[in-house]
Structure 1
Amino acid sequence: MEFDGILFFPLTPFDTDGRLDTAALERHIAFGLAHRPGGVFAACGTGEIHALSAAEHTRAVAVAVRATRGAVPVIAGAGGSVGTAVEQADAAREQGADGILLLPPYLVSGPQSGLVDYVRTVTEAVELPTIVYQRSTMALAPATAAEIAGLPGVVGIKDGAGDLDRMARIVAEVRRVHGDGFVFFNGMPTAEVTVPAYAAVGVPLYSSAAFAFAPEVATAFYRAFHAGDPLAERLLEVFYRPLVDLRDRAPGYAVSLIKAGARLRGAEVGRVRPPFTDPTDAETAELTAILEAGLAAVKEAGNA
């Protein structure tokens, strides 16, 4: 599976009654597609998969497939209990998704052999290209990662753990065993801050939560970083690092702030669902200033 560009993780909009708003989701995805992402990852972490019913998850994936119209790959979230992961993967396949992002097992931990079995169970049940999400209860040893990479259907590993030493060893071991065709990408919250470090260990692809509300900034950073343009550092200074500081004030703000930012841009995405909470008015004002600074930096660079 080939990805060329930023990986777009859409929000899942809810209406004023808290119900899934499919029309708003289609508009939100269309807004992102205009900025040419490399892939659309629907109903994943930024899309509040933890808070979606089975029916809502299926509808969200169906909307993403319809809105994307084959322009880029659509990857659907799946995970939790092994039974739920299989059901979500199967629903994604039926809706026409190109693959799944397999999230970690819910709540419980297991030995490395159990993690392999978790991935194997899902991929054997549903034949769909699978990217395995390393974080939380899915922490892989290098040898385990190589074993998982060899399972039929597994095409990539996304890292959200942030252990660069472990990730460097995983990349080296998977490349040693399987060659260079396997996909890795940086899935850290506000991944742009760690892009240089991940690129240095062989992981140049990354997901961008900020793309969901500031695609102009995210796209400008992507291009500037790859071109060695000083704009990349400028955007880290005025947009990404302040966003991280604000994000770290409360659990769940990695999603809540993105949704608040989308509302600031006029998108009808609604509020987050519990247990996440929305930012305060004062924090929203800080987010507004961060957004304005990022957009201004992009505009200034374009006029230079």
Structure 2
Amino acid sequence: MAAEQVETVDNGEIIDSLSHHTSGDSTTILLREDNREYDVVKNCFLSGMGLHSAETTVVSVRKTSTQRITAKAKLAASVVFAEAMKRKNGGEANVRYGWYSGSKEEIERIVSYGFSSREIDKFEKDDRSHGVGIHFLHHTCSLAAAVLGEADEEGVEHLLLCRLILGKPERIISGSKQTYPSSSEYDCGVDNLENPRKYVIWSCNMNSYILPGHVVSFKSPRLRGVGGSLGRGRSPCVSFPVLMSILSKSLDHPRMNVLMTSYDDFRKRKVRREQLVRKMREVVGDELLLDIIKNHRNSA
């Protein structure tokens, strides 16, 4: 979207006219820091990082290019689907923006080819997901998305901001294995109808109702200990075994047993790393996890 066509409104949404005027044929275009569109996306990201925003550095903001013929077709199709959704739901397409968290390679693949069954599998194996589909976090929840991210070899994490056609949502409870709308009345899933933080686009609509828009690359050193690099050999913070040892001295037996079960499943490759991180955050809490990581780093 051209810089002059991007603006913010009172509810914080990014308004995109879906008219692109850029040159080049790569999958993404690097935005300059003096570009207004860069500022809008950067501010959207940092405003959702809360107390972590001060220590978070935005490395780059890239927008998806529409110069390739297939990209132009996706853009045109998104306009058509939004108009169709308006007609279906009495004039309201309910277009929103959401963050998708993934590795550098995963996001590059999505930008180039779209979403696939690989992304669906991530949530099918998560017993806390709100249905089996493509999950996004509300555009104000970039911190929650960043915690689930995965740093690349240079310690940089990446989030994908997408334009979503939600239509009429229905509430999906945590742990649900629902894979499509419960009736033709509904178009997507959310965790909460009044104040949704999570959006679920079903697989049957994933490349019709989702339009990747921008890739935000960033570094947030303190955050890495809780999310993306936790448990990795290259992590400068704390490994899973060390963290489990420290937690065993702080948690009661019931909570520690829950973590040990999840950790054992992780070592047996029954659950993914991000699922274990989610469980740790749920059982322990972000504040205690961050304190442990900070104290461990200071004593190292």
Which range, TM-score by smaller chain? under 0.3
Q: Give 1 or 2: higher strand fraction.
A: 2
Q: Give 1 or 2: higher helix fraction.
A: 1
TM-score calculated relative to the size of structure 2: 0.22
Tell me which structure has the larger Cα radius of gyration.
2
